[in-house]
Chain A
Amino acid sequence: MSTRLANHGRLINRSKAIKFTFNGKVMTGFEGDSLAASLLANDQMLMGRSFKYHRPRGVVASGGEEPNALMNLGAEGHFEPNARATTTETFGGLTATSQNHFPSLEFDVGAINSKLARFLPAGFYYKMFIHPRSFWKHVYEPIIRKSAGLGKAPKARDSDKYEHYYHFCEVMIVGGGIAGLQAAKSAAATGVRVLLVEQTAHWGGRAPVDGATIDGISAEDWVHETVVALSACENVVIRHRTQGAGVYDHGYALAYERIADHTPGDGRPRHRLWRVRCKQIITATGAIERPLSFAGNDIPGVMLASAVRDYVVNYAVSPGDRTVVVTNNDDAYRTALRLKKAGLDVPVILDARAEGGGVLMAEAIAVGIRVELGRGIAKVIGSKRVTGVQICAQAGEGAVLEEIGCDVVAMSGGWSPVVHLWSHCGGKLFWDVDQAMFRPDPDKPPLGIDGAGFVRVAGLANGHLRSASCMVDAAIQGTAAAYNATGKVKKIKTAEAEDAEEVPLSPVWLMPQGASYKLRSKAWLDFQNDVKVSDVQLAAQEGFESVEHAKRYTTLGMATDQGKLSNINGLAVLSKALNADIPDVGTTTFRPPYTPISMASLAGEARGELFQPIRKTAMHEWHDDHGADWEPVGGWRRPYAYLQSGETTDQAVWREVINTREKLGLLDASTLGKIVVKGPDAGKFLDMMYTNMMSNLKLGRCRYGLMCSENGFLSDDGVVARIDDQTWLCHTTSGGADRIHAHMEEWLQTEWWDWQVWVVNITEELAQVAVVGPNSRKVLEKLGGMQVSADALPFMAWADGEIGGITCRAYRISFSGELSYEIAVPASRGLEFWEMLVEAGAEFGVMPYGTECLHIMRAEKGFIMIGDETDGTVIPQDLGLGWAISKKKEDFLGKRAQQRPFMDNPNRWQLVGLETLDGSVLEDGSYAIAKGQNANGQTNTEGRVTSTYHSPTLGKGIAMGLVHNGPDRMGEVLSFTKIGAPPVKAKIVSPVFYDPEGEKPNA
């Protein structure tokens, strides 16, 4: 059984016992524990079930590479699935549940899959579920979906807070082991800004556990001193619980800080995403121990040798009483020695190497541990827990020589440098035959904007497994990074490290090397996704020769751990099956993030009221207080209609239309774009921007204008006012202000840079109110101030003045077809002006109206709307706006394009009005049905509806649409589609349904 040892534990605080629950059971741990350590201390080795076969799974590792011990943490708004117990800090009140089992962790019906393993080989899903086709959607997928996935998706809204932090520095170092600390020291000596991040809550990495000596003191003490020294440096930021998660182009990196995972509810943000811009990145990310592939290596109790000693040294947790160590290298002897020192039993060390190891082996023999050379494990015995191992010769096929009882197997297949961050942005690797590992190729680094490398690798991650060379390498990389970043050089003394001499490992990719199919089909590569040696061999046999294909076919390395333990072993097996060298098979692609990071950290502050900025006019609050039903328009919120009590939205809209037509309506038109264009060449410029003439617009007058893209398509429209000799004010659509401003600047800056024109977007400076209806003049005259009579301010004129004591500019323009004014006032006085109109307008029947009322009124008048009648493929000529296209002008944007034969052609879909025969409302976007079918067997069409409403003014449905040769077909009846119903008949009519003579706005 696994248990807590009486003494030691370098990371735990025995004076602080804490209670937590696992699957509802109350357990006790110590402050400083990882959840995995706490569980082991409570004899909870079984921590999960595998994905495919639901096999029992125990913890195998002690860090971020853990594939098995995945937990659901917390509840409700703090729920988090797939959390690794090895990287979760235990805290008082923590609640954890295991995943992927039914009905319980101990007894799981899904484990029947394991018995069927013979029938669930690699690529099973692809082979099995392909026929019949229709079964995939209706039968297979729902079942697979139900049984797939480890953790549950959260259901409650996340109740924590998250944020981003933009950090700039010259050198960023990822990894706070001894290499990262030395690299930081060396880089910081030059005075450059250094950021050092470490993913765990502790500095020093493996060195304090493995027991190196640095500068004559223990690694533990050296780490402590160095951290204190670095913390005192002004130019250094050091951060633990912060993972360097991703490296991106041009010195951009993401670091993921887990601030309050272990202190939930303390008011701090849970996670902070550091968005780092630096010149040089050093990855000192260490190495990950490889499992060995032998039968039964997935049974709970089989662990990495390094993890076994981590639990003993760091947490004073014994994973078991009797541990068999199996290895192909010297390092695993440290585990045996450490266990022995803790008073635990090590019945045997199985060293696959015929010659065995060096001084560490001698030490093990000296303390009385039995060492067997050239031996391996044929098979692990046990189901939910290891009970023993069968020993065989590594060189053989698995004939059992001896059986030994044990409850833990500590395995080591050598070490793989963590090259992930080096590779994220394109760093290449080479295969080091002697050490049997992929290492970063310093000649092929990720390249920055200057074509030079911007990432360096230090220490273990760079293939320097021994402490002394690790420190020398780290110092070199730190100094070089600072030099590359700033040109500064300052050399400092490199720490001198010592550890035990080691002899080389001997690569072991399968144990025993001639293992039978039966053994191979129980030798796990990927513990989470249940991929075995036999699966990868089958993939190779079936022709999946590319490592990327084999990965997807077998799902090797596709689990939440992304194959941190399985990749190298898997591709070694693949290369052997293909009879190729490992470097020729290559690796799969490493992509950020290094381990999964929370989605919420990516969102940062952008949630709730900060999810998206909402642009508000000066009268926004008033609208909200008066029943506004909001509609998003170009980043703004505009009232769609103002609902009075008991009204439906339709009823409100129709009331607003009738009231405005008969009495008086107010529209908040502040969102309209307003762009001032000024200069000696402004007239010439606007003649190019608009299809019609603007240079000859008279002072004090307004003109409706159209803007096209250089491809001739209608892009925006609005009223232009001539302010003075050199100044025009251009109104744009609400959604178009920023776009049209940028469009003008682009032409001025890139094509007509020598024209003397300045442009300023003053949209937000002004609040604008449309005062509309037969009583509009009366209310303005009542407020008093400037002259607004038909003579003083005729239709399509503007004037500056004052109304009700507020400075304003009044435009006599109409988008409704009624007598209408648009009054612009400074935004700071917009609300005051609006309220004044509401109060003064009471006796004239004033009511505010929203965007839908605006739309209906303009449609009754046959006025087009950008985005309804246009969709980027429509030219002004299609909309009967040929009158607004100047024949006199030599050029304007879009002119040449409109001369292309398919545009300069009456044979197009053109704007008409449509009236249903039964008075109903056509469906928006419905198509006019034509005779016959096209080449694809689809019904031919000859037009479509672009705007359609119930007109309360006329008491029937009205619509506008684009119809093939429409204007020449007045009176013709077409059939329009209706979803789920027979087609609807509608007659082609003039698009102007209301006041066709246009007398009202001229009143």
Chain B
Amino acid sequence: MPNREFQGYVNVSQIMDQSMFTLRANLASTKIKAALKLAMSVALPKPGACATAGACTLAWMSPDELLIIAPSAEAQKLYSSLDTALSGLHVLLEDVSDARAKFILTGAHVREVLAKLAPMDTHPAQFPVGSFNRTRFAQVAGAVFMEKDDMISLICFRSVQDYVFALFSAAAAHGSEVFQ
């Protein structure tokens, strides 16, 4: 799959060198919290947010699910340390790197382009930098991570990556600016 990119009034590009793990666990459990802190040296994210530890990101998916994103180069090591730290606890850790596709939007108007496709409040006061949200992109499920004021990460299922890329490319096309 090519590292595709679309240049509009916001740029859309696919990121390929990321690994992802789904962790199902009771996030309220002190044992789980301690094990994760041990493995990743970071506290659990709050609902609707992400926590970052170095190049890794922990995203809050639900009261019993985390999405862990790491550079592919560090993924094996991270998986092992998580596996070790969580052993004996009732958890399910699955590699979902290939199940997902990741895109980034960059540019001053990333919030606006997102608001064309996701039914969510993208205002900085409601969705500040560091926020994470599960939503939909037009007709498919997706998740959004507000990385910086001018950069948003999008995650969708692998099978619909062409659709999502085409969606955001169309929404970001020059001439379709909502404000300015």
Binding site for B on A (CB under 8 A): 161, 163-168, 193, 237, 266-269, 272, 275, 277, 604-606, 609-610, 612-618, 635-636, 676, 678-680, 756, 758-760, 762-766, 826-828
Q: Is B47 located at the chain interface by the 8 A CB criterion?
A: no
CB-defined contacts of B166 to chain A, threshold 8 Å: 609-610
CB-defined contacts of A266 to chain B, threshold 8 Å: 175
- Annotate B100-123 by CB proximity to A: 1 below 8 A, 0 otherwise: 100000000000000111111111
Bound-state Cα–Cα, A618 to B158, Å: 9
CB-defined contacts of A618 to chain B, threshold 8 Å: 158
**Which secondary structure dominates where chain A touches chain B?**
mixed
Bound-state Cα–Cα, A237 to B117, Å: 19
- 25 A-B residue contacts at CB 8 Å? A163-B170, A163-B171, A164-B117, A165-B116, A167-B115, A168-B121, A168-B122, A168-B123, A269-B175, A275-B119, A604-B138, A605-B138, A605-B167, A606-B139, A610-B138, A613-B138, A613-B140, A613-B163, A614-B162, A676-B92, A679-B92, A758-B64, A764-B157, A765-B94, A828-B97
CB-defined contacts of A166 to chain B, threshold 8 Å: 115-116, 118-120
Interface contact B160-A765, CB-CB below 8 Å: no
**A826 touching B98 in the complex, CB below 8 Å, given contacts A163-B171, A166-B119, A610-B167:** yes
What's the count of A-B pairs with C-beta under 8 Å? 113
Q: Which residues from 136 to 171 on chain B have a C-beta closer than 8 Å to any C-beta of chain A?
A: 138-140, 157-160, 162-163, 166-167, 170-171
Quote the shortest CB–CB distance from A632 to chain B (angstroms): 13
Interface contact B159-A617, CB-CB below 8 Å: yes
Interface contact B116-A636, CB-CB below 8 Å: no
Bound-state Cα–Cα, A827 to B157, Å: 12
Interface contact A679-B90, CB-CB below 8 Å: yes
For the A-B complex with A613-B140, A676-B92, A766-B98 known, give 7 more contacts whose Cβ atoms are closer than 8 Å: A166-B120, A268-B176, A614-B163, A616-B159, A618-B158, A826-B97, A828-B97
Q: Is B39 located at the chain interface by the 8 A CB criterion?
A: no
Interface contact B121-A758, CB-CB below 8 Å: no
Quote the shortest CB–CB distance from B58 to chain A (angstroms): 17
The answer, among B24, B97, B170, for a CB contact under 8 Å with A758, is B24
Interface contact B123-A827, CB-CB below 8 Å: no
The answer, among A165, A636, A765, for a CB contact under 8 Å with B115, is A165
Bound-state Cα–Cα, A678 to B171, Å: 41
Q: Is B27 located at the chain interface by the 8 A CB criterion?
A: no
CB-defined contacts of B96 to chain A, threshold 8 Å: 760, 762, 764-765
Which of the listed residues A269, A609, A618, A759 has the most CB atoms from chain B within 10 Å of its own CB? Answer: A269
Interface contact A161-B176, CB-CB below 8 Å: yes
Quote the shortest CB–CB distance from A831 to chain B (angstroms): 9
Interface contact A827-B92, CB-CB below 8 Å: no
Interface contact A676-B94, CB-CB below 8 Å: yes
Chain A to chain B: the 7 pairs with minimum beta-carbon distance, closest first: A758-B92, A615-B159, A267-B175, A758-B24, A827-B98, A168-B121, A764-B99
CB-defined contacts of A269 to chain B, threshold 8 Å: 175-176
CB-defined contacts of A193 to chain B, threshold 8 Å: 123
Q: Is B126 located at the chain interface by the 8 A CB criterion?
A: yes
CB-defined contacts of B123 to chain A, threshold 8 Å: 168, 193
Quote the shortest CB–CB distance from B55 to chain A (angstroms): 20
Bound-state Cα–Cα, A267 to B90, Å: 55
Quote the shortest CB–CB distance from A756 to chain B (angstroms): 5
**A272 touching B178 in the complex, CB below 8 Å, given contacts A605-B171, A616-B159, A828-B98:** yes
Q: Is B37 located at the chain interface by the 8 A CB criterion?
A: no
Nearest neighbor of B95 in chain A, beta-carbon distance: A765
Nearest neighbor of B24 in chain A, beta-carbon distance: A758
Bound-state Cα–Cα, A897 to B96, Å: 38
Quote the shortest CB–CB distance from A159 to chain B (angstroms): 15
Bound-state Cα–Cα, A676 to B24, Å: 11
Bound-state Cα–Cα, A469 to B140, Å: 50
Quote the shortest CB–CB distance from B93 to chain A (angstroms): 9
Bound-state Cα–Cα, A764 to B100, Å: 8
CB-defined contacts of B91 to chain A, threshold 8 Å: 758
Bound-state Cα–Cα, A678 to B158, Å: 24
Quote the shortest CB–CB distance from A864 to chain B (angstroms): 26
**A613 touching B94 in the complex, CB below 8 Å, given contacts A165-B178, A269-B176:** no
Bound-state Cα–Cα, A277 to B25, Å: 34
Interface contact A756-B90, CB-CB below 8 Å: yes
CB-defined contacts of B31 to chain A, threshold 8 Å: none
**A267 touching B157 in the complex, CB below 8 Å, given contacts A165-B116, A756-B90, A765-B98:** no
Nearest neighbor of A267 in chain B, beta-carbon distance: B175
CB-defined contacts of A164 to chain B, threshold 8 Å: 116-117
CB-defined contacts of A828 to chain B, threshold 8 Å: 1, 97-98
Interface contact B94-A680, CB-CB below 8 Å: no
Bound-state Cα–Cα, A613 to B165, Å: 11
Bound-state Cα–Cα, A612 to B166, Å: 12
Nearest neighbor of A727 in chain B, beta-carbon distance: B92
CB-defined contacts of B4 to chain A, threshold 8 Å: none
Quote the shortest CB–CB distance from A13 to chain B (angstroms): 24
Quote the shortest CB–CB distance from A938 to chain B (angstroms): 42
CB-defined contacts of A827 to chain B, threshold 8 Å: 98-99, 158
Interface contact A610-B175, CB-CB below 8 Å: no
Quote the shortest CB–CB distance from A673 to chain B (angstroms): 12
Interface contact B170-A765, CB-CB below 8 Å: no
Bound-state Cα–Cα, A80 to B120, Å: 32
Q: Is B174 located at the chain interface by the 8 A CB criterion?
A: yes
Bound-state Cα–Cα, A616 to B138, Å: 17
**A163 touching B98 in the complex, CB below 8 Å, given contacts A269-B176, A679-B92, A756-B90:** no
Q: Is B52 located at the chain interface by the 8 A CB criterion?
A: no
Nearest neighbor of A257 in chain B, beta-carbon distance: B178
CB-defined contacts of A606 to chain B, threshold 8 Å: 138-139
Nearest neighbor of A274 in chain B, beta-carbon distance: B178
Quote the shortest CB–CB distance from B112 to chain A (angstroms): 8
Quote the shortest CB–CB distance from B166 to chain A (angstroms): 6
**A168 touching B126 in the complex, CB below 8 Å, given contacts A762-B94, A827-B99:** yes
Bound-state Cα–Cα, A161 to B116, Å: 13
Bound-state Cα–Cα, A705 to B106, Å: 48
Q: Is B81 located at the chain interface by the 8 A CB criterion?
A: no
Nearest neighbor of A829 in chain B, beta-carbon distance: B98
Bound-state Cα–Cα, A828 to B161, Å: 13
Interface contact B176-A612, CB-CB below 8 Å: no
Quote the shortest CB–CB distance from B29 to chain A (angstroms): 12
Quote the shortest CB–CB distance from A135 to chain B (angstroms): 45
CB-defined contacts of B119 to chain A, threshold 8 Å: 166, 275
Bound-state Cα–Cα, A764 to B155, Å: 13
CB-defined contacts of A759 to chain B, threshold 8 Å: 24, 92
CB-defined contacts of A765 to chain B, threshold 8 Å: 94-99
CB-defined contacts of B92 to chain A, threshold 8 Å: 676, 678-679, 758-760
Bound-state Cα–Cα, A610 to B139, Å: 9
CB-defined contacts of B64 to chain A, threshold 8 Å: 758
Nearest neighbor of A676 in chain B, beta-carbon distance: B94
Interface contact B120-A763, CB-CB below 8 Å: no
Interface contact B100-A760, CB-CB below 8 Å: no
Nearest neighbor of B135 in chain A, beta-carbon distance: A166
Interface contact B24-A760, CB-CB below 8 Å: yes
CB-defined contacts of B160 to chain A, threshold 8 Å: 613-616
Quote the shortest CB–CB distance from B63 to chain A (angstroms): 11
Bound-state Cα–Cα, A828 to B140, Å: 21
Bound-state Cα–Cα, A26 to B95, Å: 68
Bound-state Cα–Cα, A272 to B120, Å: 17
Bound-state Cα–Cα, A84 to B160, Å: 41
CB-defined contacts of B175 to chain A, threshold 8 Å: 266-269
Quote the shortest CB–CB distance from A975 to chain B (angstroms): 45
Bound-state Cα–Cα, A881 to B60, Å: 43
